[in-house]
Amino acid sequence: MSRFWSPLVHRLTPYVPGEQPKMADLIKLNTNEFPYGPSPRALDAMRAAADDTLRLYPDPTALALRTALAERVGLTAENVFVGNGSDEVLAHAFQAFFNHGDPLLFSDVTYSFYKVYCGLYALPYRLVPLTENMAVQVEDFTAPCSGVVIANPNAPTGTAVGLDAIKRLLAMHPDRVVLVDEAYVDFGAESVVSLVKDHSNLLVVQTFSKSRALAGARVGFAYAQPELIEGLVRVKDSFNSYPLDRIAQAGATAAVQDEAWFRQGIEKVISSRTMLSAGLTGLGFEVLPSQANFVYARHADRDAAQLAASLRERAIIVRHLRGERTSSWLRITVGTDPQCNMLLSALRDILHRNS
């Protein structure tokens, strides 16, 4: 508290990011980062960008990166917006599109930053409960609204809805923006980017932080028709004209062009996810069917917070979220096979000791 703060700052409830501890030999399965390093081509491009030209501002429009992202999905640079992590893209979208009086709709169990942006921009919102099975049901998003935000796959549950469900949602709210947050889409869900051409109210947000292993470079992006992209650019250019530095733009552009590295990495994570889910099920956990690079799991008769604490004593960190519908669950990032195996054997040991 401070007398220097504006009333808005007093009211804010900021997002709490997953911790980034400095412990040595930590198995870090708490913030859904990619378990392998980025594309070597991306690293080379970033090293090459670290030269005398750093004295100059970067391209404020990030045209080379936007063009590479557009070409990958058969769109043009006019359909692409980039920002400092998808968090920044989301923040600009909330400010640009969701201030129409009615509440914004999003799930009761979803990415917790959505509520934070509503607080920051004073936007009313309404939580739409997930089903009993912790799934998103688009038919529940019927209320008059200022827009809809769906994380697909959802976080922290990892489950996804298909293209047809998003099509129904777009048709239900033709005069409102439907934002589909596809941070985890590359790990097996169906992207709705193909719907951009025919739907003026669709905004698809993605990131380099997960499937491209560039969380540390902070690059996010969005696909939409030019009218929505222009709205985002207006907000961006009223906030920070240069959200992506030269090094990030160079690395991200090279990463988009390294399709072989991308495919191979995704396959490895999906295979580890299958192994991890089966292992957890074998230990008595209920595991939701994940299409993301994490799994959401709970044990029938073990307290999730205690399990997380016991894992932590063994230098393994997973995410436990407080809350009525989340406190019995653990969100576990899919690590390398050896990391997943170490997690499983630690859990086996913890469950055995306490039985």
Ligand X SMILES: Cc1ncc(COP(=O)(O)O)c(C=O)c1O
27 in Cβ contact with 316 (< 8 Å) = yes
Does 207 interact with ligand X (rule: CB under 6 A)? yes
Task: Specify the residue, 69 or 347, whose C-beta has the smaller distance to ligand X.
Answer: 69
Q: Is 181 in the site for ligand X (CB under 6 A)?
A: yes
Minimal distance in Å, beta carbon 85 to ligand X?
3
| CB-nearest residue to ligand X | 85
Cβ distance to ligand X smaller for residue 112 or 341: 112
Give yes or no for residue 333 binding ligand X (CB under 6 A): no
Point out which span in 8-16, 37-45, 80-88, 242-250 binds ligand X (CB under 6 A): 80-88
Nearer to ligand X, 119 or 344 (CB): 119
Q: Is 39 in the site for ligand X (CB under 6 A)?
A: no
Burial class from Cβ neighbours inside 10 Å (0-12, 13-18, 19+) for residue 10 reads: exposed
Indicate which single residue of 104, 155, 254, 346 sits in contact with ligand X (rule: CB under 6 A).
Answer: 155
SS (H, E, C) the chain: CCCCCCHHHHHCCCCCCCCCCCCCCCEEECCCCCCCCCCHHHHHHHHHHCCHHHHCCCCCCCHHHHHHHHHHCCCCHHHEEEECHHHHHHHHHHHHHCCCCCCEEEECCCCCHHHHHHHHCCCCEEEECCCCCCCCCHHHCCCCCCEEEEECCCCCCCCCCCHHHHHHHHHHCCCCEEEEECCCHHHCCCCCHHHHHHCCCEEEEEECCCCCCCHHHCCEEEECCHHHHHHHHHHHCCCCCCCCCHHHHHHHHHHHCCHHHHHHHHHHHHHHHHHHHHHHHHCCEEECCCCCCEEEEEECCCCHHHHHHHHHHCCEEEECCCCCCCCCCEEEECCCHHHHHHHHHHHHHHHHHCC
Q: Which is nearer to ligand X, 34 or 350 (CB)?
A: 34
Instruction: Name the residue nearer to ligand X (CB basis): 181 or 186.
Output: 181
83 is an interface residue for ligand X by CB under 6 A: no
| Residue among 284, 281, 292 nearest 351 (CA) | 284
321 binds ligand X (CB under 6 A): no
Nearer CB in complex with ligand X: 155/347: 155
Give the nearest distance from C-beta 258 to ligand X in angstroms.
19
Q: Is 215 in the site for ligand X (CB under 6 A)?
A: yes
Q: Binding mask 240-279 vs ligand X (x if CB under 6 A, - otherwise)?
A: ----------------------------------------
Contact between 111 and ligand X per CB under 6 A: yes
Angle CA(198)–CA(202)–CA(207) in degrees, nearest 5? 120
* Position among 35, 87, 173, 188 found at the interface with ligand X (CB under 6 A): 87
C-alpha–C-alpha distance, residues 276 and 106, integer Å: 29
148 binds ligand X (CB under 6 A): no
Structure tokens at 104: 């914004």
Kindly state whether residue 223 participates in binding ligand X, applying the rule CB under 6 A: no
Of 27, 29, 30, 32, the one binding ligand X (CB under 6 A) is 32
Residue 183 makes contact with ligand X by CB under 6 A: yes
| 86 sits near ligand X (criterion: CB under 6 A) | yes
Nearer to ligand X, 111 or 187 (CB): 111
CB of 195 to ligand X, least distance (A): 19
209 near ligand X (CB under 6 A): yes
Q: Which residues bind ligand X (CB under 6 A)?
A: 32, 85-87, 111, 151, 155, 181, 183, 207, 209, 215, 220
